[in-house]
Structure 1
Amino acid sequence: MSPAIGSDEPRPSVDAATSGASLALDLLAASRDEPGRPGAGVRDLLARAGVAGAEAEAVVESVRESQLRGARLRRRANELEALFSTARELVRLQDVDEVLGRLVERAHHLMGTDVTYLSEVENVRGDLRVRHSVGTVTPGFRDLAVPAGVGLASLVAGTREPAWVARYETMTEVGHDDRIDAAVRAEGLVSFLGVPLAVGDEVLGALFACNRFGYDYTPDDVLLLSAFADHAAAVLHTARALAERAAAVVRAEEAYRELERHLAATELASGIHEELTSAAMSGGTVVDLVVTLSQRLGRRVWALDDQARLLDGGGELPSRPVLRDAVGRSQLSGHAELVEAREHRWLVVAIVGADRVLGSIVAEAGSGPDDSVLRRALERAAQVAALVSFKRDAVIALRAERRARWLLAVVDGADDVLSAEVEPSLRAMTPEACAVVDVLERDVADAAFVAAGAVGENGVVARRDHRVIVAWSVTDPVAETERLRRLLADRLHESALTAVVCTGLGGWADLGPAVERATADLRFLHPLGIEAATVPSDSLAPYHALTSGEPTAVIRFVDELLGPILAWDERRGTALFDTLAGFFDDGESRHAVARRLRIHPNTVQQRLDRIRSLLVGDWDDSEFRFRVQAAARLERLRRSLRDAHPAG
């Protein structure tokens, strides 16, 4: 209680009160100074105020604690201001690198360390790379990469806990790496404090504060750096989320554009398919389909047959082997295949039947990326073309089968039975030639089908045994038969096909004997080694009477008579056979033979003497001379046919 008025107790003087207030203000000012020893100044103040001993020490300790508490509060205020500044920048996040750079700078300033840097996880293995640093002096450290499993950074990222070392070279908690150790030595760093940058279960990197001297980091250091690390993690996480969102938006926009393109392509392809189907139903051909396709697509389109030959028109296309290879790939894949040659691009799609390729469609692909609309349109066109081909083939096969039965009936002399089955124009046609093609052991039904399509309205085709029979009404039957033979050889993959043509037919009545003669000629040619050729039957006419039902009879006939001469020429390289053949051709005149062969008449006589000595028989016997002459002509025929039609 305050003394009562009028009390006898002494009242303090005004100077004493003033002195006490001044002391309090001085002590309060001292408590606001930076932490350190209060010094003699505080003790002097206390001594002047008459305070000493234990009471003075208590006041000094209180001032020291007040200084520490004030310093801590000021530091905390600075830290909070820095964190709030970072938070404000995070809200206005524009440039991730700039925000992270400022964050590292603030951490460096508040931590007061020599170096502060941020490492970011850069791949799924967990490798880290320095992204931002402050206080570094070596370029190598500013872009330092730390493989997963080594270094303090891997320890922090792996444990998701703060870690520090007072001296890096003595660290044993995790493995060292020579390259990283060299970078640390070059930078002069000794002590490290690292804290993780983590969001949920994901570690994004680590934030480090380092000194170039040994230092034991305090809990306050860990807490402060962790606060900055949390902000850095938020920045990285937000940046990644924004990047993923932007990528998702781009993907969504691209998907929408792709959907639009797909819908447009589907609409166009459906329209083309409807037009193609309509053309097919109205009796259009594959060429008609290609014309429709070309008009709708606005580019050149071609139709090819099963041998990659143009069905109509012309244009610059890849070579037939390249086209056939692309058709084969399309047959296997079921899709259009791209072909590039001579700086041009084409799309090729096979027209596939039940068991073989019926043809193909080729379209210009342009110079840009492949067009999905074109692919889809071509593939649908190929399906429609296959239906058109099936329909056409069915009609052709039915008509060809009917005509073939009638043709065989004509050959066998029983055509009256089937005459009603064929069109009147066929019966009215006058065949001028016939041809018989030996297809050996190949598919004669397929050969007859191909031949019927090739002959068309110029003749009639049938098959018997392993041969194709054709009754022609053409200007040049030999040339047309050779063209047909080559087509069949290409289709059947058999180059040794042989054909015989009989010309000069006067009508259907002559067909049977002509076919029989051509068939006999084929048997006659085979033992002579003649193949892969078309031979006119007229060239064999003089020897028909010599042929028998046995195919090898002609060869045996020649070898029995002229074998010694032919063997002599082969062993000695002489020309006895040429001399003998010329002797018969020139009316048995030695001088004429000498002029023909450009040798002396005496040489001719010597050769004739050698021939007479080699042949067994009487030269005065006319039958023997006829046989020798016939054998010589047969051998000359064989040689001329071989020269004109070499095998293969």
Structure 2
Amino acid sequence: MTHRSPGAQGSLEIHRWLDSVRAITQTVVAAQPLTPVLDLIADTAAGLMGYEFCGVLLPDPSGQRLTIEGSSGLSREYIDQVNADHPVLLNQSAGPEAPSSKAFRTGAPVAIADIQAEPQFAPWGGVAREQGYRSMISVPLLESGQGVIGTLNCYRSGIHKFGQQEIALLAVLADHAAIALTTSRLRSAEAIRMEELVLLNRELHTQRDLLEKSEDIHQKLTDIALRGGGVPGIAAALSILISRPVLIEDSQGAVIGRSDPDAGFPDDRTRTGMRDEGSANFKVFPVLLNESEVARIWTVTEAGPLTPLETRAVEHATVITSLELLRVRTAEEAQWRLQGEVLNDLLGGEPSALDTIHARAERLGHDLSIDHTMVGLSLSGVAQGDKDACLQQGLRRINAWASTLKPRPLCAIHHDRIVVLLPTSLESSTTDATMVERIRKMAASRRPHATATAVSRGPITGISMYPRAYRSTSGALNMLALAGRTDTSVTFDDLGLLGLLLQLDDSSQLLRYTERSLGPVRRHDESRGTELLKTLRTYFSAGQISMDTARLLQVHPNTVAQRLRRIQTLTQKDLSRPDHAMDLAAALSIGDIADTSPQPAQV
């Protein structure tokens, strides 16, 4: 048998320790995850010191307790039970303090030779018996500058008194373990930072590529606008860029550009509802101008959502569309202002303005030397605050249509109405109801419950006739509005006698006529609070049938008969005579509109 000297045995022990520490260091250098490093530390302590069980305890993220994060010989059940049901609490103010907590708090080793003889260990006695240990020591893991970062716990199955040399060796091992733990954490943090840097670098490259492609998209869309492609050209170019159908509509829902007529976009009414409810098959992008929505871009998402680059392309298209609409609107406003000035001077009849009216109109593409039909249009069912916008929308549609015609009609807004002067050579006759109805529908707002009413008069054969024609047209529109006849087109021939009377040059004659016929009745109503004029108006609208009149007024038939007798006495007219009844009916209708008709210009 070969005997080794004590010096040789010490040398071997030193080599064993160095090899063990080197193994820990190599594991850290190899950038192993934290849990294997902690397990190796526990295995090294158990192997070097001959312990049955070892564990490495670290503070949890809250810093309120220690949990077992690395082990040697400890069962998974024991680790889970301690961590969940019997955690080592830090900063505990009441109750017995665990050895590990005390070692972590004081920074000094805590050893228990016999846990059954220590009353303060009672809370952990059950799990100790299950695991099978009788003595233990907890050594703090100290890191320079950070203090205690954890504990190394070692357990023996029997009673054992931990000597000073043993504790000193454990302290050395704990110091190496603390260095290894800190280094591993730093490497892990560095690895995470490196991974974040790689991801950030990749994202920066992606963003750079996206910006380069985005600039290219913006340039292509801008080129379309500069070449005069307009909104339809923008829709076509965007469709090619994103490989999806595109539809562009104005704020009223009218289509102003689309890439494919057969793309299957919803109709105007359905799109209006979908803007509020949304759809899985379509995505809508607003086009803003001065923070107001002036248009919308629709695209199809049925085959899949838009990619970031496609989304960026549509966003660029909204900007280019906004600029294009601003350019068009600016040009339109300039054209409308000039057309409006010509029309206002023409309808006002000021002699000094009429001297140059032909030349000014000709510069705008209009020939006032030929005969025209005047079409007056008024809007109903539109809030007063929205009327200007709706009039401009209607005028925009009518002007777009008029720009395709020769001779070109003159269209403008005069006061709160749209006036269109149609060259009679465009029509098959001066009462072409089809063209007038077409203009009325173009003027109508697309808003719910909004309608347009049109009155046409022609032919107008000279400059001097325009002021009179407008006064009578405006009076007819007033009369239709008072009578509740909206959403219709009429000519002066349709108005019969009233149409002839409205063409009188001096509306004061109409006022005298209605005052002469109905003045006594009106004064009777005003002085006594009666409703004779209302009864008369209802009587004529009911076909001069007293029973129907009473039903409409919700009064007794005898009351109607009494009121009619009073009207006949005041007017000296017999309602049973057709000529007398016609005089009163005409006076009633003319009285409703004469006060609101524009007065003749002072020439």
**Does the alignment reach a TM-score above 0.5?**
yes
Q: 1:420 aligns with which of 334, 342, 359?
A: 359
Whether the aligned pair in 2 keeps the contact of 1:501 and 1:536 (CA below 8 Å) is yes
Q: 2:325 aligns with which of 367, 382, 389?
A: 389
Which residue number corresponds to residue 174 of structure 2? 229
Report SS of the residue matched to 1:422.
helix
Amino acid at match of 1:536: V
Q: Distance in 1 between matches of 2:307 and 2:178?
A: 46
Q: 2:226 aligns with which of 281, 289, 301?
A: 281
Whether the aligned pair in 1 keeps the contact of 2:377 and 2:418 (CA below 8 Å) is yes
Q: 1:411 aligns with which of 344, 347, 356?
A: 347
Shift of 1:423: 3.5
Which residue number corresponds to residue 217 of structure 2? 272
Inter-CA distance 177–125: structure 2 relative to 1 (3 Å threshold): farther
Amino acid at match of 1:518: T
Matched-pair identity in % = 18
Q: Distance in 2 between matches of 1:306 and 1:609?
A: 53
Which residue number corresponds to residue 91 of structure 2? 149
Give the gaps of 5 or more residues in structure 1: 1-28, 33-65, 326-339, 586-592, 598-605, 638-648
Superposed CA RMSD in Å reads 5.3
Inter-CA distance 82–416: structure 2 relative to 1 (3 Å threshold): same
Q: Distance in 2 between matches of 1:579 and 1:531?
A: 18
Inter-CA distance 583–607: structure 2 relative to 1 (3 Å threshold): farther
Q: Distance in 1 between matches of 2:57 and 2:342?
A: 93
Amino acid at match of 2:287: A
Does residue 398 of the first structure (1) align with residue 357 of the second (2)? no
Question: RCO greater where, 1 or 2, for CA within 8 Å and sep 6 or more?
Answer: 2
Does residue 516 of the first structure (1) align with residue 471 of the second (2)? yes
CA deviations on 1:492-517 (whole Å, 9 max, x unpaired) are xxx67764422444556554333212
Amino acid at match of 2:250: D
Inter-CA distance 170–629: structure 2 relative to 1 (3 Å threshold): farther
Shift of 1:208: 0.8
Q: 1:454 aligns with which of 379, 393, 397?
A: 397
Inter-CA distance 80–431: structure 2 relative to 1 (3 Å threshold): same
Shift of 1:426: 1.8
Which residue number corresponds to residue 202 of structure 2? 257
Whether the aligned pair in 2 keeps the contact of 1:351 and 1:361 (CA below 8 Å) is no
Whether the aligned pair in 1 keeps the contact of 2:250 and 2:256 (CA below 8 Å) is yes
Report SS of the residue matched to 1:283.
coil
Shift of 1:455: 1.1
Q: Distance in 2 between matches of 1:169 and 1:433?
A: 114
Which residue number corresponds to residue 294 of structure 2? 358
Inter-CA distance 128–294: structure 2 relative to 1 (3 Å threshold): farther
Which residue number corresponds to residue 432 of structure 1? 373
Whether the aligned pair in 1 keeps the contact of 2:141 and 2:178 (CA below 8 Å) is yes
Q: Distance in 2 between matches of 1:322 and 1:122?
A: 55
Q: 2:285 aligns with which of 324, 348, 353?
A: 348
Shift of 1:96: 5.1
Does residue 195 of the first structure (1) align with residue 139 of the second (2)? yes
Whether the aligned pair in 1 keeps the contact of 2:457 and 2:473 (CA below 8 Å) is no
Q: Distance in 2 between matches of 1:580 and 1:450?
A: 38
Whether the aligned pair in 2 keeps the contact of 1:286 and 1:385 (CA below 8 Å) is yes
Which residue number corresponds to residue 23 of structure 1? none
Shift of 1:576: 12
Q: Distance in 2 between matches of 1:99 and 1:355?
A: 60
Q: Distance in 1 between matches of 2:46 and 2:474?
A: 106
Report SS of the residue matched to 1:205.
strand
Which residue number corresponds to residue 116 of structure 1? 54
Does residue 103 of the first structure (1) align with residue 34 of the second (2)? no
Amino acid at match of 2:53: V
Amino acid at match of 1:303: I
Q: Distance in 2 between matches of 1:146 and 1:631?
A: 106
Corresponding pairs, count = 531
Whether the aligned pair in 1 keeps the contact of 2:343 and 2:412 (CA below 8 Å) is yes
Whether the aligned pair in 1 keeps the contact of 2:248 and 2:296 (CA below 8 Å) is yes
Bigger Rg, which one: 1
Inter-CA distance 259–90: structure 2 relative to 1 (3 Å threshold): closer
Inter-CA distance 142–349: structure 2 relative to 1 (3 Å threshold): same
Inter-CA distance 634–225: structure 2 relative to 1 (3 Å threshold): farther
Whether the aligned pair in 2 keeps the contact of 1:432 and 1:503 (CA below 8 Å) is yes
Does residue 217 of the first structure (1) align with residue 176 of the second (2)? no
Report SS of the residue matched to 1:123.
coil
Inter-CA distance 627–252: structure 2 relative to 1 (3 Å threshold): farther
Shift of 1:400: 1.8
Whether the aligned pair in 2 keeps the contact of 1:149 and 1:155 (CA below 8 Å) is no
Shift of 1:404: 1.5
Amino acid at match of 1:394: T
Shift of 1:181: 7.9
Inter-CA distance 512–614: structure 2 relative to 1 (3 Å threshold): closer
Whether the aligned pair in 2 keeps the contact of 1:157 and 1:205 (CA below 8 Å) is yes
Inter-CA distance 499–345: structure 2 relative to 1 (3 Å threshold): closer
Q: Distance in 1 between matches of 2:307 and 2:176?
A: 49
Inter-CA distance 209–612: structure 2 relative to 1 (3 Å threshold): same
Give the gaps of 5 or more residues in structure 2: 93-97, 403-408, 428-433, 550-555, 591-603
Which residue number corresponds to residue 376 of structure 1? 312
Inter-CA distance 85–230: structure 2 relative to 1 (3 Å threshold): same
Inter-CA distance 481–632: structure 2 relative to 1 (3 Å threshold): same
CA deviations on 1:428-454 (whole Å, 9 max, x unpaired) are 675434114267854776555434322
Whether the aligned pair in 1 keeps the contact of 2:235 and 2:248 (CA below 8 Å) is yes
Inter-CA distance 187–316: structure 2 relative to 1 (3 Å threshold): farther
